[in-house]
Structures are given as C-alpha cells and as structure tokens.
Amino acid sequence: MIPKISIYPDYEAMSLAAADRVIALLNHKPDAVICLPSGSTPVGMFRELVSASQKGNADFSRCIFVGLDEWVGLGGDDEGSGRYMINRDFLKSVGLKDNQVIFFDGKARDPYLECERINKIVSELGGLDLIVLGVGLNGHLALNEPGTAWNTYAHVVELDEVTKVTGQKYFSKTAVLEKGITMGIRHILEAKTAILLANGNQKAKVIQRALSFPVTPAFPATVLQNHLNAEFLLDREAGSLIDWTSENI
C-alpha cells in the first residue's frame, strides 16, 4: 500500500501543511493524543503551530502531547536533548500544562522501566491519534534503527553509526551518543494517522527507498507502506526522485 504523497514547492509550504494537519485534528478531537518529533525538520511546523495558537486559531488546552524519542543519558535541561529542543521550539510557547506532556526521561535510572512507563500511559490513553515523524538518512523512524523488529513498542536502542554522526548537529560540542529510547514501530503502525516530513535534496534517495519494495526492517521507513493511514509531506527537493504521475500526488 503506497502512502498518500503530498509535495510542496518549498519547506515553508510543507511546514504549513503539516501544521494544518495538526490543527484539523484538534478541531475534530480537542483531546487528541499527539506524538511529535524534535529536531530540525519540524521547526517550521512548530513555528506555524505557535503562530496559530497566538492568533487563537489552534487550541492546545485539552490535547495530550507524547514525545517521540530521546538520547539516553540526557534530560530536558541538556542542550541537544529531544526534550530541550521541543520545549524551545514549541511547548513553552503554547502553554501546555505539565499533565498534558508525556516525555521519555533520558536520565531515568532504568531506561527499560521508563519504556514500560510510557507504554502503559499510551495504552491507557487509547493509543495515538497522530504521530508525526522525520526520517533518518539510514531510514530510521524516531530512533528505530535499521534491523528494528516490527513488533516493538517503546524500547532502548543501540544507535546506528549514521545516527551518532548526524546527531552531533544538535550539540555545540561533541556529544557521546550511544543509546536512545524511542516509541516503537508498533506505536507507529497503531497510530490512527502517521505523517512523515522530509525536506531537502539529501532526503530524496531516502524517500525514494521508503516508497520502494521490499518493505523491510533493514530500512524502517518502508514500514509506512503497511500503515492504513499514512501520508508523506515533502518539499519538491525531497520528492524529486519519486516516480509517480500527478494523479498519485
């Protein structure tokens, strides 16, 4: 099953479309459970969501936010952590209360128990209404690295070398990145809607592979072909190698 593909002229238009998807969900279900990523790709989406909130066009007062992933060993006050970035780029500007935010504690004494905690909370909430994802150069979704089994919920991962290297861009000095803690592939597949965001030429081959066969744990992004309601939101550069007619986009 090929996910829906929407290609936009530039990053700004892609980001606005992503924000519109989130706002549409909130208008339909104000208490939606939404899992959003940190990092550089969603910054434009966050900017649009913050603007909509400040203008009174988006109401986050009843929704629940679930963090996508975190570096093991880092907490919300550590520069470059997932919590640090998403607090900076989004959460602090839309006035979410503490009880609306569920996030991995990368400094938890036992990260495996932390996974159980998150799994239990998400299950009790009835699962995710929406999960928004970026995609790594190695095809990872969240921190589900190549080789991750499809049946995983939240789990601890040994980081792929590609992730260790690319992850350095979030830090002002070299960081020791060895493990991550992440929402699992089953969380992605069971979310009512999954949206993947990608922009730039460096993601073109990644997107091409994500939409190709075989669907395999060796390239986790291909699993979105198995999702019942997935959409790829791309800028023109990221979508430049997709071989579809206009009727498919």
Instruction: Look up the CATH number of the domain holding residue 8.
Output: 3.40.50.1360
| 213 in a structural domain | no
> Which of the residues 89, 105, 140, 144 is marked catalytic?
140
20 is catalytic: no
Strand partners, 231: 4, 195
| 120 in a structural domain | yes
| 211 in a structural domain | no
Residues in contact with 94: Cβ distance below 8 Å, sequence separation at least 6, in sequence order: 49, 50, 53, 58, 60
| 248 in a structural domain | no
| 244 in a structural domain | no
> Tokens in use for 222?
């291909």
Q: Give dist(CA 124, CA 68) in Å, integer.
A: 17
Strand 230-235 relative to strand 193-198, pairing: parallel
> DSSP strand E in 42-129: where?
64-67, 69-71, 101-102
Q: What is the reported pLDDT for 244?
A: 57
201: domain range?
A: 4-205+218-239
> Which of the residues 12, 119, 138, 226 is marked catalytic?
138
140 is catalytic: yes
Confidence band (pLDDT; 50, 70, 90) for 247?
very low
> Which of the residues 69, 105, 114, 235 is marked catalytic?
69
Q: 122 pLDDT exceeds 60?
A: yes
Strand 69-71 relative to strand 64-67, pairing: unpaired
| 247 in a structural domain | no
CB 146 within 8 A of CB 217: yes
**Phi and psi for 61 in degrees, rounded to 5?**
-70, -20
pTM: 0.96
> Which of the residues 70, 89, 129, 145 is marked catalytic?
145
235 is catalytic: no
124 is catalytic: no
| 210 in a structural domain | no
**Based on the structure, what is the number of domains in the chain?**
1
Q: 202 pLDDT exceeds 60?
A: yes
Q: 249 pLDDT exceeds 70?
A: no
